[in-house]
């Protein structure tokens, strides 16, 4: 009573008003505001009740940690968009710029040049002028957003008996020819035949061709065919654009009176868009035309750009040569191997592919680790193949060699350092992803608090 007496009249009136608006509970375990279904007991009129004793307790928040997905802890320089659904190289802006370089002149060409030629000759010009640039763009995007054939990185494993691995080893292909492969310190494995580690993407690429700055990524086994489609398709598009622009200039020339002075120059002045597009197409053809001829030679001889500049195989020396028809069929008709990764899946749900191409199913002839070469007593090449005036560009079994294992603590320390660095980078990316998710949750909670939902 003393506490009640000390309260002001306004406070006592507010308390009475609050008690008058709050319905009383009819018993233990009852709440107001619930209308029971037919057949369930009801309380006094106007008070629909619910029995809390029948309600399950709220589930405790899950403390289980979600396993990060592959693209969230990716160690290469590739970029991922749309929650891992789209993958590009380190410079997606280059891909967008190349798309604009094809799309903008094509739009001007279709708007200002094609209508005159199509009305004069055939509507087929309109169909080709629209469909062919779209085909080139589709090949460009497919090459720039595909997995080029990235080889899976392996965890660091110390050499057997604590001895350093040989830098190179010899392997035999299914066709019986031998090639020399190199140990990759970043991926901790011997690279598959024709593979190479791209320093720009920081990935080991199967059948590495080159890193294309126009596509913004590396060209390898899985995106070489769409790259060829873009190169050859763009060369044909340039020829078509040049011919169509010349036809529009001819139409303007025929429309001028025969006695007109400087008829040629005036006809060109009547078609300024055709002159500009023709000049751009000519410059483009000077580049992609030469590139098309070079890659036609590579396809015919079954070489990559990297192999051509490094080894310079002749027709008989190339261990991958299958003949002209076989080489062309491999480049244009062979089924593309599946990717070694499911980027939106965690590491525990990745596919286990022993070999994604026939050339990866090799036999180890001379093993640099002493574990796969049969009795472990083989020898490994001391250095990679060199150019020569003749003979095969690989090490035969009788080549000069060094002992399989050479104690070199510096190599082992470097490999361990690289492994620790890769692990630290993966941990950093995982922490950054967790912090980003925590910030998103904090922002969401702040919005809900502001709206009065909590």
**Active-site position among 212, 238, 245, 328:** 212
Q: Report residue 142: phi and psi, to 5°.
A: -65, -40
| End-to-end Cα distance, the chain | 36
The beta strand positions in 221-360, using DSSP E, are none
What mean pLDDT do residues 87-102 have? Answer: 95
pLDDT tens digits for 356-410?
444 445 555 555 544 444 333 444 444 454 443 333 333 333 333 333 333 344 5
Cβ(181)–Cβ(192) below 8 Å: yes
136 in catalytic set:
no
Half-sphere exposure of 96 (CA within 13 A, CB side): 5
Reading phi first (left if > 0) and then psi (alpha if -120 to 50, else beta), residue 402 is in beta
DSSP collapsed to 3 states, 233-253: HHHHHHHHHHHHHHHHHHHHH
Q: Whole-number mean pLDDT of the chain?
A: 78
Q: Give the pLDDT band of residue 174 (cuts 50, 70, 90).
A: confident
Length of the chain measured in residues: 454
Residue labelled with tokens 């480049």 = 331
Task: Give the Å distances, CA to CA, from 320 to 175, 210, 301, 391.
Answer: 8, 18, 9, 15
Distance, C-alpha 152 to centroid of its chain: 14
Cα dihedral 354, 358, 360, 362 sign: positive
DSSP state of 73: G
List Cα–Cα distances, 164 to 159, 168, 234, 405, 417, in angstroms: 6, 12, 49, 6, 14
pLDDT digits (tens, 9 = 90+) for 31-69: 445 555 555 555 555 454 555 556 556 555 555 678 889
Q: In a 3-state reduction of DSSP, which class is residue 364? A: strand
pLDDT confidence bin for 209, thresholds 50/70/90: very high
Q: Given pLDDT bands bounded at 50, 70 and 90, which one contains residue 447?
A: confident
Does residue 375 contact residue 404 with C-beta atoms inside 8 Å? Answer: no
Question: Hey, is 284 helix, strand or coil?
Answer: helix
pLDDT-based confidence at residue 355 (cuts at 50, 70, 90): very low
Residue 385: closest CA among 179, 184, 194, 166: 179
Name the residue with tokens 């590139």.
291
d(CA 344, CA 163): 38
């Amino acid at each position: 009573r003393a506490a009640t007496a000390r309260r002001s009249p306004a406070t006592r009136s507010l308390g009475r008003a609050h008690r008058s608006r709050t319905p009383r509970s009819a018993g233990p375990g009852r709440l107001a505001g619930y209308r029971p279904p037919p057949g369930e007991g009801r309380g006094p009129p106007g008070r629909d009740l619910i029995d809390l004793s029948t309600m399950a307790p709220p589930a405790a928040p899950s403390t289980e940690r979600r396993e990060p997905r592959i693209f969230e802890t990716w160690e290469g320089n590739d970029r991922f968009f749309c929650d891992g659904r789209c993958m590009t190289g380190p410079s997606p802006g280059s891909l967008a710029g190349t798309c604009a370089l094809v799309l903008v002149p094509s739009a001007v060409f279709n708007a200002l040049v094609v209508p005159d030629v199509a009305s004069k000759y055939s509507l087929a010009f309109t169909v080709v002028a629209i469909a062919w640039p779209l085909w080139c763009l589709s090949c460009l995007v497919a090459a720039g957003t595909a997995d080029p054939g990235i080889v899976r990185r392996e965890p660091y494993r110390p050499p057997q008996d604590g001895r350093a691995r040989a830098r190179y080893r010899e392997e035999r292909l299914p066709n019986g020819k031998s090639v020399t492969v190199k140990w990759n310190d970043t991926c901790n494995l011997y690279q598959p035949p024709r593979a190479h580690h791209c320093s720009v993407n920081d990935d080991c690429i199967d059948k590495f061709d080159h890193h294309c700055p126009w596509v913004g990524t590396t060209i390898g086994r899985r995106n070489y065919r769409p790259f060829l489609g873009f190169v050859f398709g763009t060369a044909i598009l340039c020829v078509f654009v040049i011919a169509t622009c010349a036809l529009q200039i001819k139409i303007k020339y025929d429309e001028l009176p025969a006695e007109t002075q400087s008829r040629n120059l005036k006809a060109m002045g009547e078609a300024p868009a055709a002159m500009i597009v023709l000049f751009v197409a000519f410059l483009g053809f000077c580049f992609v035309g030469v590139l098309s001829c070079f890659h036609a030679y590579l396809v015919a001889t079954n070489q990559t750009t990297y192999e051509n500049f490094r080894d310079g195989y002749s027709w008989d020396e190339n261990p991958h040569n299958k003949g002209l028809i076989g080489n062309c069929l491999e480049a244009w008709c062979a089924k593309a191997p599946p990717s070694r990764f499911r980027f939106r899946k965690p590491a525990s749900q990745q596919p286990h592919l022993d070999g994604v191409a026939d050339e990866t199913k090799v036999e180890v002839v001379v093993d640099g680790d002493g574990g796969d070469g049969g009795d472990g007593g083989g020898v490994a090449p001391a250095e990679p193949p060199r150019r020569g005036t003749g003979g095969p560009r690989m090490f035969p079994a009788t080549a000069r060699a060094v002992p399989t294992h050479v104690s070199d603590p510096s190599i082992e320390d470097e490999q361990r350092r690289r492994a620790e660095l890769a692990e630290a980078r993966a941990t950093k990316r995982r922490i950054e992803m967790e912090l980003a998710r925590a910030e998103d949750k904090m922002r969401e909670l702040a919005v809900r608090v502001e709206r009065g939902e909590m």
